[in-house]
């Protein structure tokens, strides 16, 4: 073995509790997405890359479209049918965690958490903007008003 | 063993390679058996250990099944070197061709023992790093609120008898 002061890093995936972390980390992110967005799918561009967030009751997938017809799975979390456990599946993130140290693995989870919260803030802001448009743009606000009046008058 | 040259009078170092000795084969088998079980005792059922030490990536592969095997490789920028390869046969253990076997065969008895100690030290060093990193991960489960809450929920679920 070489000198002690050299960089030493044991791969996270070799640790006895790595499997548990893939479950706990996966469950945390799955529930975080659910709390923020429910089961809503999101599509967005980050620096010219097309990001897609898909969520249903059993699966959360975040993919990146690198170029025409090339999609990379950035993150995949799935509820396993056999035991109901929510687990981090093969993806860029899982591979990165697998080759990291414990400290780096926790940082990767924090990085995704940050990404989700940033997307959430943008998503909320965009939704607020849309609500403003509906209220303030006369073309729409007039229709909305008519619909409201219609509703209040009991007409179908 | 040091002897003086009859011609120059200078001291000569004479070394008999371990492989020339009648018991060399048995020694290699004992080394193989010892190192195989040492890995098994340290890392139990963990079949692969990957670690980066400086510029080298080390990979330890272990199998306790019928085709029992312990392989240790290290990778430089471009090359893969077989550092250690142990195979278990029905009648015992063998050191396959690898860097450790070459060193043992070419060295004196003392050097051969040093090589065994070197591999032993490597395994113990990696074990210490591995154990400490696992402890760190356990701390994360306990102290990071994001995960400790989920761990607690799991425990409650388990204690309540829910599947």
Q: Please name the member of B49, B125, B133 whose beta carbon is closest to the beta carbon of A101.
A: B133
SS3 A117: helix
pLDDT of residue B4: 64
* A81 found inside a domain: yes
Distance separating alpha carbons of residues B130 and B55, to the nearest angstrom: 18
Residue A141 in this model has a pLDDT that exceeds 50: yes
Q: Is B80 on the interface with A (CB under 8 A)?
A: no
What is the extent of the structural domain holding A40? 12-119
* A39 found inside a domain: yes
Residue A4 in this model has a pLDDT that exceeds 60: no
* A144 found inside a domain: no
Q: Is B131 on the interface with A (CB under 8 A)?
A: no
Range B119-123 contact pairs with CB under 8 angstroms and sequence separation of 24 or more: B119/B35, B119/B72, B119/B84, B120/B35, B120/B38, B121/A1, B122/A1, B122/B72, B123/B35, B123/B38, B123/B39, B123/B42
Place A156 in a pLDDT band, splitting at 50, 70 and 90: low
Least CA distance to B120: which residue of chain A? A1
pLDDT of residue A36: 96
**Dihedral sign, Cα of residue A63, residue A124, residue A38, residue A93:** positive
Q: Please name the member of B48, B50, B125 whose beta carbon is closest to the beta carbon of A1.
A: B125
pLDDT of residue B91: 87
pLDDT of residue A147: 84
The answer to whether the CB of A39 falls within 8 A of the CB of B158 is no
* Contact criterion met (CB < 8 Å) for B52 and A7: yes
pLDDT of residue B6: 64
Distance separating alpha carbons of residues B66 and B47, to the nearest angstrom: 14
pLDDT of residue B77: 83
Q: Please name the member of B54, B138, B150 whose beta carbon is closest to the beta carbon of A17.
A: B138
Least CA distance to B134: which residue of chain A? A15
* A68 found inside a domain: yes
* A23 found inside a domain: yes
Render pLDDT for A78-135 as a digit per residue (tens, 0 to 9): 999 988 899 999 999 999 999 999 999 999 999 999 999 999 999 999 999 999 988 8
Render pLDDT for A10-41 as a digit per residue (tens, 0 to 9): 999 999 999 999 999 999 999 999 999 999 99
pLDDT of residue A2: 47
* A108 found inside a domain: yes
Q: Is B151 on the interface with A (CB under 8 A)?
A: yes
Count of the separate structural domains present in chain A: 1
Higher pLDDT, B71 or A71: B71
* A135 found inside a domain: no
* A35 found inside a domain: yes
Ordered per-residue pLDDT tens for chain B, 163 residues: 556 666 666 777 788 999 999 999 999 999 999 999 999 999 988 999 999 998 899 999 999 876 779 999 999 888 999 999 999 988 889 999 999 999 999 999 999 999 999 999 999 999 999 999 999 999 999 999 999 999 998 888 888 876 5
């Amino acid at each position: 073995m070489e000198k002690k002061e050299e960089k030493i890093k044991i791969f996270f995936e070799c640790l006895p509790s790595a499997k548990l972390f893939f479950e706990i980390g996966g469950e945390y992110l799955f529930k975080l997405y659910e709390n923020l967005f429910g089961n809503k799918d999101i599509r967005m561009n980050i620096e010219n890359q097309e990001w897609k967030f898909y969520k249903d009751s059993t699966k959360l997938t975040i993919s990146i479209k690198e170029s025409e017809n090339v999609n990379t799975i950035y993150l995949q979390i799935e509820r396993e049918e056999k035991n109901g456990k929510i687990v981090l599946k093969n993806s860029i993130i899982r591979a990165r965690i697998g080759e990291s140290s414990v400290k780096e693995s926790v940082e990767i989870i924090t990085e995704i958490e940050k990404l989700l919260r940033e997307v959430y803030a943008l998503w909320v802001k965009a939704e607020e903007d849309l609500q403003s448009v509906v209220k303030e743009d006369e073309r729409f606000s007039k229709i909305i008003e008519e619909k409201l009046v219609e509703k209040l008058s009991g007409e179908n | 063993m040091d002897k003086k040259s009859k011609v120059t009078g200078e001291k000569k170092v004479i070394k008999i390679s371990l492989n020339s000795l009648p018991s060399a084969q048995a020694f290699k088998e004992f080394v193989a058996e010892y190192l195989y079980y040492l890995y098994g005792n340290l890392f139990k059922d963990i079949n692969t250990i990957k670690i980066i030490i400086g510029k080298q990536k080390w990979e330890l592969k272990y199998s306790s099944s019928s085709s029992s095997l312990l392989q240790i490789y290290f990778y430089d920028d471009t090359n893969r070197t077989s550092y250690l390869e142990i195979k278990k046969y029905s009648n015992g253990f063998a050191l396959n061709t690898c860097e450790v076997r070459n060193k043992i065969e070419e060295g004196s008895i003392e050097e051969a023992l040093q090589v065994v100690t070197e591999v032993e030290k490597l395994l113990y060093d990696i074990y210490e790093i591995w154990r400490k990193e696992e402890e760190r991960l356990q701390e994360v489960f306990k102290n990071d609120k994001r995960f400790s809450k989920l761990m607690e929920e799991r425990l409650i679920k388990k204690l309540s008898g829910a599947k």
